[in-house]
Structure 1
Amino acid sequence: MARPRPGQLPTFDRRSALKVLLAGAGLAAVPGLAACGSGGSTGGASSNTVTFGSNGSDAKPKQAYQAVLDAFAKQSGGLTAKVNTQDHQAFQQNINSYLQGTPDDVFTWFAGYRMQFFANKKLLSPIDDVWDKIGANFPQAVKDLSKNPADGHYYFVPIYNYPWGVFYRKSLFQAKGYEVPKTFDDLINLAKKMQGDGLSPFVQGFGGGESWMLLGTFDYLNMRTNGYQFHMDLMHGKESWTDPKVKSAMDSWKRMLPYYQAGASSKKWEDASAALVNKTGGMMVIGMFVGQSFTNQSDYEDLDFFAFPEINSQYGTDAVEAPMDGFLLSKNPKNPDGAKKLLEYLGTAEAENTYLSIDASNLAVNEKADTSKYGTLQQKAVKFVADAKQLSQFGDRDSDPGFIQNVVEPAFAQFVQSPNNSDSLLTQIQSQKSQYFQS
């Protein structure tokens, strides 16, 4: 999920290209596409090879995907999967051009609106026949997120999901006598205490093109202030960004900003999370993937999280952000039969078990997957998701990707740097919304 660099007026060289592409103006020369395209066009020519485009460029996901593909090759009767791993940010940034060029047969992507958007653009192949074979493995909620409501076809095979929360170190809270906050006022009071103790209360990194990290905080603030349905309607272009309800959510965000980690605008989340690992930071609003930063097992076992606290008692903490990742089939795969065999395998409990045995920062969505080896954090996360009354997929997955990436994220990055400009930034977002949503 790559985003424009915050901390300055956004430069739209790549984003402008994406915006043009999303508007259907054809392909543009976007850096990094050659690598993606070549991976799909060369390997896919063989009937014994399926090409697999992956955004899992971090160490654990890369290792986990390779283990899954190796396991597939052993039981596939001669098929092998050739992985084409791209930088995680670049993959997301170039996805539209990638799909209109020569994409890999199967590739990693996301459920919800992000999948539906490309299905509606006719850039994906439906996989109803795959779901005929794997459907019994998944609950109805997962099936619903794997289908495009516009045409009723399945396009997505899931592998895991992961909730977002406020992550912290149990031993730090115990040593300092901190209590898990129940309300937003409690959260701000805790941040004040942490700052007084010389800590960075809110660990945050949204630099290096990662302003997408800011979406998680806004999503929770908006859902806690205005409820899940208002948030989803806002994401779908049905509500106004200048509505006083949105301004109220932004006002709460302003209360958090004095407690943000220094230099957040120049750090990637991986760099920022070091403060959580070494206990110089107190809390981090992030997904379970933060566990990838905890390379020492005892440190990982000390990691915990709590629900983003209540703001409006009418909505409490009912809504939980729990994005789901998985796989799609490109529009014209070079090896369609082999690609569908790979997707069928990816929809098995064996594939999920293999992946999660290496990358434990996620949760299985296959009902037949083995959860007996889940650690304390995973067990808590399972209950956290199961107890939620509503599940969101994350800001840029619940809305038009061009709108979020080109308009909302740059505005949020500017807001964090200059919070007093929030009203004008919301007006700016609203004025550009019509380019992406029909009124």
Structure 2
Amino acid sequence: MSRPRSQAEYLARLVPPSVAGLNRRSLLAGAAGAGALLGTGLLAGCGDSDSGSGGDAKSVSVGSNQSDPKPKDVVAKVMDGFKTSSGVTVNINTVDHNTFQENINNYLQGKPDDVFTWFAGYRMRFFAAKGLAGDLSDVWGKLDGYSDAFKKASTGDDGKQYFVPASYYPWAVFYRKSVWQQRGYEVPKTLDDLNTLGAQMKKDGLNPIAFADKDGWPAMGTFDILNLRINGYQFHIDLMAGKEAWTSDKVKKVFDTWAGLLPLHQPDSLGRTWQEAAQSLQQKKSGMYLLGLFVGQQFSGADLEDLDFFTFPEIDSTIGAKALDAPIDGYMMARKPKSKDAAQKLLTYLGSKEAADITVKNDPSTLVANSGADTGAYTALQKKAAELVGSATEIAQFLDRDTRPDFASTVMIPALQQFIKDPKDIGGLLTSIENQKKSIFTS
């Protein structure tokens, strides 16, 4: 599982409306900028763009953006499992999130690794359409345990598959059970309940809602859930697609509502990383935190067992509280890997029950995509997260995955940060967003 670490990643995050929505009990399941670091070899892969077959079938290279300690360790264990079962050695090229996402476009046009970590939906389709990814239709012919929704999220515009899903994670409001039991807090069912709870948490000396937006992306999750609760799933997706006006009363209501909630948010968020905000929850200094399931990476032992969550409460009773964000991560193959056979063999393994079982045993902060996995090893938190996703009526990916990468990175990141800094001029902010949207979506 992965989340970006800096604003630069947003040039690489996309998912189109056409693959974003699924029915109940199903899961839905960019290009980057300059490649200056390629010259240093920091993101230089081992593959050969001028070859595509043959090569050393006893080894395969993987470009991984899983640079945080826990995900990195899990990837290593999965690759060890592949080596044990196949005899093929995996050379992992782990690169910091920022570097990986900032240079992915040039990386894929150069000599990428045979297999690389990436994301489902449009961001996969983007590189497939550019001819920078290998066809995995043959691999999918050997896979079991995936719903049609996962396959759809792995399919390019030409109907071929280019992606193997590995994990996914819902966004929700996390809290520590012990703190809530001690204080007598109850899960809020409505926005009024949330405001009342937040006011009580303030009286009790807590930051009601942990919050961080130094890296640009966390605030997108807050916008997403408010828009989904206030205006519904379809409006949210249409807004992300450039089909609705940011100056509409519907969007203004989202920001007005958010402005009302900002006093409950941890102050000085633009100077704080998501990990630091998570630590305030871990240290019992904050009462709640809206984030993805990966927040569990900042907890361990008894603290992790103390972690729980609820879905963001209802705002409009006619819309309800069943929609949510649940992004998918996985693997792709280079256009011309040095050994196509070895690469496809690895990807088949990465999509297997065996690989999923290894992930389940070693990472309590994600959910595996393969339904055949032994989820008996899931923690209580993981089981609840899987149930949450299963009960959702609509599932979006995330703002940066549901819209154009240039719009997400160059418009929405600074706009949301400006709003957090000064929430008073909502009208002027939305006019600016709309004007930039028109320029970008008509270009």
- The reply to whether TM is greater than 0.5 is yes
- What amino acid maps onto 2:81 in structure 1? A
Q: Where does residue 222 of structure 2 map in the other structure? A: 217
Q: How far, CA to CA, are the matches of 2:294 and 2:119 in structure 1?
A: 15
Structure 2 equivalent of residue 8 of structure 1 = none
Paired residue for 2:212?
205
Tell me the C-alpha RMSD between the 2 structures. Answer: 2.4
**Equivalent in 323, 339, 363 of residue 335 of structure 1:** 339
Residue from 92, 101, 114 that aligns with 2:101: 92
Correspondence for 1:287 among 276, 287, 292: 292
Whether 1:422 aligns to 2:426 is: yes
Where do 1:22-421 residues align within 5 Å?
Answer: 28-31=34-37, 34-41=40-47, 46-77=56-87, 79-134=88-143, 136-148=144-156, 150-207=157-214, 210-295=215-300, 297-421=301-425
Contact 1:3-1:93 within 8 A present in 2 as well = no
CA distance in structure 1 between the aligned counterparts of 2:106 and 2:336, rounded to whole angstroms: 14
Report the secondary structure of 1:286's partner residue.
strand
* Alpha-carbon distance in 2 for matches of 1:199, 1:60: 29
Secondary structure of 1:94's partner?
A: helix
* Deviation at residue 184 of structure 1 after TM alignment: 1.2
- 1:330-359 superposed Cα distances (whole Å, 9 cap, x missing partner): 222222221111100001011011122111
Distance 2:345 2:196 in 1: 54
Question: Would the aligned equivalents of 1:167 and 1:306 in 2 still touch at CA under 8 Å?
Answer: yes
The amino acid across from 1:50 in the alignment is V
CA separation of 1:15 and 1:279: change in aligned 2, threshold 3 A: closer
- Write the distance in 2 (CA, Å) between the matches of 1:355 and 1:169: 25
Question: Quick one: which amino acid aligns to residue 114 of structure 1?
Answer: R
Paired residue for 1:10? none
Letter in 1 for 2:150: V
Secondary structure of 2:289's match?
strand
Q: In structure 2, do the counterparts of structure 1 residues 16 and 228 end up closer, same or farther at CA, with 3 Å as the change threshold?
A: closer
**Deviation at residue 90 of structure 1 after TM alignment:** 2.7
Q: Distance in 1 between matches of 2:40 and 2:236?
A: 37
- Inter-partner Cα distance in structure 2 for 1:220 and 1:291: 20
Counterpart CA distance in 2 for 1:168 and 1:417 is 26
Q: TM-score, normalised by structure 2?
A: 0.89
Q: TM-score, normalised by structure 1?
A: 0.90
| Contact 1:37-1:101 within 8 A present in 2 as well | no
CA contact (8 A) 2:221 2:399 kept: yes
Query: Distance in 2 between the 1:275 and 1:213 partners?
Result: 15
SS of 1:419's partner is coil
How far is 1:187 from its partner? 1.0
Letter in 2 for 1:195: K
Q: How far did 1:322 drift?
A: 0.8
How far, CA to CA, are the matches of 1:365 and 1:23 in structure 2? 25
Provide closer, same or farther for how the CA distance between residues 100 and 391 of structure 1 changes in structure 2, counting only shifts above 3 A: same
Q: Which sections of structure 1, spanning at least 5 residues, go unmatched?
A: 6-13
Q: Name the CA shift for 1:53/1:181 in 2 (closer, same or farther; >3 Å).
A: same
Correspondence for 1:11: none
Aligned residue for 1:218, secondary structure, equals: helix
Whether the 8 Å CA contact 1:162–1:288 is kept in 2: the answer is yes
User: What SS does structure 2 have at the residue aligned with 1:103?
Assistant: coil
Checking the alignment, whether the CA contact within 8 Å between 1:2 and 1:92 is kept in structure 2 is no
The worse-fitting range, judged by mean Cα deviation, of 377-386 and 396-405 is: 396-405
How many residues of Structure 1 are paired with residues of Structure 2 in the alignment?
Answer: 420
In the alignment, the residues of structure 2 paired with residue 65 and residue 311 of structure 1 have an alpha-carbon distance, to the nearest angstrom, of 39
Percent identity, aligned pairs only? 47
- AA aligned to 1:142 is F
Is the CA contact (8 Å cut-off) linking 1:33 and 1:94 kept in structure 2? no
Alpha-carbon offset, residue 141 of structure 1? 1.5
Deviates more, 1:350-359 or 1:276-285: 350-359
Contact 1:2–1:90 (CA<8 Å) still a contact in 2? Answer: no
